[in-house]
Structure 1
């Protein structure tokens, strides 16, 4: 009866994982999962983020940058102490033994088993129809992160951000970054932001028709294929939305859609286009 049934072989990658918790209010008992630490059979320790940058922005607002700096400090501390923490307000779970196809599979198991505030916020951002996170705020925070990344490299571009460009006497359109050679608008790609991305793309087409700049980008924050926090089905839907947008501007040689996972990549794209234009 079972002669023709082929069962998959068991995953042969073994490792341990533990959860790193942060207590935002000391002695409150509230804990947020911020990191996942892994240890392979050779004893090598690796640290992975449990919170998506967009979620950190939404949770901490203007203090997001400081919180990101704190997470970097915690990572360094844990690596120096062989997977342990010596920082007040940071706790670690016990080590859990697991197996998967690779280290990313181990981390995904850890994220799935850890019911963190970040996971709930991420689900509402990427999956739920009625998100508690306002998409406009999400886009604005992405824009601010790119702006800060650019200004860290070249502060002279301070006045090139958030420019209202006059199209005619009674119409002005906001542009995230603008120079005579190159302009860009910014979006975060989620399952809910296709309308906002289309709107920004239409603005860029208006800029192009009025010769506002020589080249234009819609710079979109998009999770990479190996992102550990966004489900594969959700990522596939997001990719489909991006392809639809690219089809809409396929006949517009001056307009491009550029996807990246971090504000550093977004800033690098801006300088690359400024240099080329």
Structure 2
């Protein structure tokens, strides 16, 4: 039988990181009353503060299409404005939003293990759009196609910086005539690169897609008799570690999935590189193709 002291030891220690947080609302149509949370902000007792976007980028693209970049710029402007205010005052009071239709929600007290935990609470309680995944069922196994896919963002950025590389994108690699052709995102005389997303909210499907990308790279690597390419690499998009729109459990599953891909890649001399922005992917392609610094 447990003693009272032993039972007390089983009770989890309450979190000691205290903070206040607030959502930042945006009303697209003035006076409509329809608002959604675009960011969350928190201030700790120590004075530490952080403002983070709470609506995922692919959701923004689904909602605003070819105007998504302008909307993202507005979010960045709002985050910068509030961050500058918090840097000076360490409080939410008297912040003036830089554009109309933006407002600060109710300020709430909370406690957690750290700042990221506070922001995750804020997202969970106020930002329903953060959990949506408009592209969870898109069919990208056979080709890189959608205007809103991660792969198109990377390709557009690379071609914009290096127009001569356009001819190397979206190639097929045939091992034998009877076999299915391997789909390769970027295939030149010296480089074979595939890319795919790995999202915590869609981990099982995305992991299978990444494995398919690896299999296609295996085909190039194992039958690379003619060109002897220097680089065979899978570039994997993953959200930032401090993205508050995902839980700790989701981020742990993401890390486990990445480790699985890295172990499989190592066995076949395929580099697996996680990135969080198209700019980081660009640097990997430049490094492979031009020997630029990573």
Q: Shorter chain as normaliser: what TM range?
A: 0.7 to 0.9
1:1-277 superposed matches below 5 A: 1-4=3-6, 5-6=8-9, 7-41=11-45, 45-82=49-86, 83=92, 84=95, 85-119=97-131, 121-122=132-133, 131=136, 133-134=137-138, 136=140, 141-151=149-159, 153-165=161-173, 173-189=182-198, 190-191=202-203, 192-211=205-224, 213-253=229-269, 255-276=270-291
Q: CA deviation at 1:151?
A: 4.3
Q: CA deviation at 1:186?
A: 1.3
Higher deviation after alignment, 141-150 or 108-117: 141-150
Q: CA deviation at 1:142?
A: 0.8
Change (3 A) 1:237 1:43: closer
Given that 1:185 and 1:200 are in contact with CA atoms closer than 8 Å, whether structure 2 keeps it comes out as yes
Given that 1:58 and 1:138 are in contact with CA atoms closer than 8 Å, whether structure 2 keeps it comes out as no
Residues 105-159 of structure 1 deviation map (CA, whole Å, 9 limit, x = unaligned): 211111111142222x05x87xxxxx5x425378961112222443454444344
SS at match of 1:3: helix
Task: State the alpha-carbon separation in 2 of the partners of residues 234 and 99 from structure 1.
Answer: 21
Larger Rg: 2
TM-score (norm 2): 0.77
Task: State the alpha-carbon separation in 2 of the partners of residues 229 and 102 from structure 1.
Answer: 15
Q: CA deviation at 1:241?
A: 3.1
Given that 1:139 and 1:188 are in contact with CA atoms closer than 8 Å, whether structure 2 keeps it comes out as no
TM-score (norm 1): 0.81
Provide the aligned C-alpha RMSD in A. 3.1
Change (3 A) 1:149 1:38: farther
Task: State the alpha-carbon separation in 2 of the partners of residues 264 and 72 from structure 1.
Answer: 17
Structure 2 gaps of 5+ residues are 87-91
Q: CA deviation at 1:217?
A: 1.2
Change (3 A) 1:42 1:250: closer
Task: Report the equivalent of 1:128.
Answer: none
Structure 1 gaps of 5+ residues are 126-130
Change (3 A) 1:45 1:249: closer
Task: State the alpha-carbon separation in 1 of the partners of residues 154 and 172 from structure 2.
Answer: 18
Task: State the alpha-carbon separation in 1 of the partners of residues 249 and 48 from structure 2.
Answer: 31
Q: CA deviation at 1:18?
A: 0.9
Task: State the alpha-carbon separation in 1 of the partners of residues 100 and 261 from structure 2.
Answer: 47
Task: State the alpha-carbon separation in 1 of the partners of residues 98 and 147 from structure 2.
Answer: 36
Task: State the alpha-carbon separation in 2 of the partners of residues 239 and 100 from structure 1.
Answer: 22
Task: State the alpha-carbon separation in 2 of the partners of residues 86 and 140 from structure 1.
Answer: 28
Task: State the alpha-carbon separation in 1 of the partners of residues 103 and 28 from structure 2.
Answer: 12
Task: State the alpha-carbon separation in 2 of the partners of residues 155 and 49 from structure 1.
Answer: 32
